Chains A and B, each alone.
Chain A
Amino acid sequence: MIHVGLEHYLTVSILLFCLGLLGTITRRSLLVIYMSLELMLNAANLALVSFSRFNKSLDGQVMVFFIVTVAAAEVAVGLALIVALYRKRQTAHVEDLTTMKL
């Protein structure tokens, strides 16, 4: 077995990103789509942290710090949107949400 290097971490990150992408395009529930988006953000975080580690620079970690903060804000706004949508339409399922107008 070869020693674990940058490419191994990047592979995990890519696979996780692709899982998130798969969930985003195939699942039909808005909440699960939202969780898949979080998965993709986390995959990007992993790639940034491993770049930061193997390039002896902390800039990547600072970037991850900002991404986590923005992701938390994004989750709050997105879930508020989903709740508002649910109140209006009684569904959180993308197949029932085919019109732009509420």
Chain B
Amino acid sequence: MTTADIFFYLFAFLTLLCGLLVVANPLSRNPVTSAMFLVLTIVSMAGLFVQLHAFFLASVQIVVYAGAVMVLFLFVIMLLNVREEERRRVKVLSAGLGIVSVGAIALIAVKAVFEAHPSSGLETPVLEGTTVNLGRLLFTQYLLPFELVSLVLLVAMIGVILLSKKDLR
């Protein structure tokens, strides 16, 4: 077992543990706690991205998700009433049924992945200078999608401004 493997298991464990605590935290049902654990999930996932040599995406993950998106989330949670959730009871039947069905889906998918042996013909490759190549790819082959995504951002911006107008019909 190499150091990379140890780091993989560490970050995978952290990602899954914090992901579980986002969804089902036994100690607290406050959305703020969920948001904090989502930040931890995202940061440990950035660790997994570093393991996969996607350095640029790891930094984007931290800056955009853990930075911008989660601040937006916390801002809205503070704006709304967060005490609401804690007063409601958990429905045991629906939670149990959800766990059973989702667990079945997870079992089938994991079994399918392990029986397919997806990495049998692949050796661990060495991608050098991925950020440079990623930038080159973005501005040559994927130039049109790149420009269209800016349009998506513009539409989202206009939509948010319209939605937050006072007299929403």
Docked Cα-Cα span, A58 to B15, in Å, equals: 24
* Residues of chain A lying within 8 A (CB to CB) of residue B4: 4
A81 in the interface, Cβ–Cβ < 8 Å?
yes
Inter-subunit contact A19/B159 (CB<8 Å)? no
* Residues of chain A lying within 8 A (CB to CB) of residue B79: 83, 86
- B interface residue count range (under 10 / 10 to 19 / 20 to 34 / 35 or more): 35 or more
- Looking at chain B's contact residues, the main secondary structure is helix
Contact for B125 among A53, A59, A83, CB less than 8 A: A53
- A interface residue count range (under 10 / 10 to 19 / 20 to 34 / 35 or more): 35 or more
Min CB distance B17 to A, Å, is: 10
Given A4-B5, A9-B52, A82-B76, answer yes or no on A75-B69 (Cβ-Cβ < 8 Å).
yes
Inter-subunit contact B16/A35 (CB<8 Å)? no
* Residues of chain B lying within 8 A (CB to CB) of residue A16: 15-16, 19, 41
Inter-subunit contact B84/A22 (CB<8 Å)? no
Knowing that A56-B125, A58-B130, A69-B152 touch, tell me 14 more A-B residue pairs with CB under 8 angstroms: A5-B122, A7-B117, A22-B99, A23-B23, A31-B31, A34-B73, A45-B61, A61-B54, A64-B57, A69-B153, A72-B69, A77-B159, A80-B160, A88-B168
Q: Which 9 A-B pairs have the closest CB atoms?
A: A73-B156, A23-B23, A5-B119, A6-B119, A26-B98, A18-B106, A80-B163, A53-B52, A56-B125
- By a beta-carbon cutoff of 8 Å, the part of chain B in contact with chain A is 1-2, 4-5, 8-9, 12, 15-16, 19-20, 22-24, 31, 34-35, 38, 41-42, 45, 48-49, 52-54, 56-57, 60-61, 64-65, 68-69, 72-73, 76-77, 79-81, 84-85, 88, 94-95, 98-99, 102-103, 105-106, 109-110, 113-114, 116-119, 122, 124-125, 127, 130, 133-134, 137-138, 142, 145, 149, 152-153, 155-157, 159-160, 163-164, 168
